[in-house]
Structure 1
């Protein structure tokens, strides 16, 4: 029976696209309002977090809690040690997670969360800096906070004005703004980011280096005076589809590939021709410590399938596009 009633209230003539656009515009307006709220309080919050000797602990109830978890995760992955503490569980023992030296960020749109209210006396006793995020400065939470960050007055995208929508979007954006500002202040680099993201495609992209995938044995090298016919034996034994041409000091001076071979044979080039007359000079190369993803980009930019790996102009390896793709580098 309940299902029949619910079905009877559905308006199939709803313009879903118009409703979606209106919701997004409402949330965009909330972000515009948020920008106007950024002032010296934001700077003070960043400075307080930078001075933190412990962790940035984030708490919030309901939808604010969900947003808080994401903010904590973003902080942790961008150089600010952080975790989420559920305010309900904190009142039953988890408050022990909070220790002197930490900073607490408490999120409550209304500023009146009962679960957070019970934590404030302990936070004050531990002399832990308290940063609040709420709609405005009214409410016990922003009044109790050392730094009260506000979102500003805006309408929820929910037409009933009940479901947290614009407010959670603004809170998330404010958390991201803090994380990005702190990232810049710490001089946090992509290498630092890689250390906290070792798994999956992102980890492979950031952590895998050319030296992890390059071929280092049976490298096919020949000297400039070697005849094309003899260079073919080196190419075959190396099984890399190329011969690397070196001088008497073993410095790389050129490269001869399978593609070069096909072109020369189509021109009926004599097999006794010195490879030095046929090679491509100044071949593209990389270094062992280059990111594998950057090596792949270099290959794509130059429409080549292999790169020489050099150290002081001497060959130490060869890496191919097949090696990179097989390793899942993209």
Structure 2
């Protein structure tokens, strides 16, 4: 099979290698679509602490089962599926305590386990989910990031209705926008410097769009937003979210921030405004919810698609250094 291997930071190489046959309890999947995530760029640039080089990247992928190992009972060759990339041990204290995302022995597809930048991926049966016949492979490839967003809502018990600010309208910010609007949030203000993303924010229901953080900080919603989503990855913007939030407001720090960097906040405001700040680490127990949410039409993917990339062209995308996109997908057709 063809596969791109990230040998070390900045070195992504197309190779021909043997597709691994499934062992007991495993399935082999022919990849049909794979999302390219900001995490992949962090890995490429050597800024993701969990990556073990060399690795075949790609953790947002869907496909068709081609073969199954002994003991597999839930799947057959030909099944259309999507994969939760987090392979947990089920035995450590975190797994037993319902916190599998902090598993002490976790393996993550595309990070330290071969992923969807290859034409075939072999994974344990337990991380595989069937998708409806009506769901395209491209739509299925966004299930994993949507599942991460749902985990944020599960963690925070966000109520219906209210007002919100979303900083950053890449795929994550636009998905948050659609979910919050579906939950009755009004107004929802968005901020991004990218004109294409701002057009999509308007399409998906943003009530007011800002093209810079300074203008946003002067708006009438500052200090009144019940929910604040930081999805730019900027620590300087994250430090401002405490001023954006209303009393008892909830802040989602929903980015992979640079390791070692720190922010300054006025700590008294956490106390006096009863502010809650939440991190969000991967997607435990939310894959099926994400499949249902996308299938229901709540998450509209139309317009977010960037030009489809063929496997031979992956290297060119990373070498160019350009990241002016929403959610590029690799096609294996």
TM-score with structure 2 length normalisation?
Answer: 0.30
Specify which structure has the higher proportion of strand.
Answer: 2
Larger radius of gyration: 1
TM-score with structure 1 length normalisation?
Answer: 0.31
Q: Which has the higher contact order (CA 8 A, sep 6+)?
A: 2
Specify which structure has the higher proportion of helix.
Answer: 1
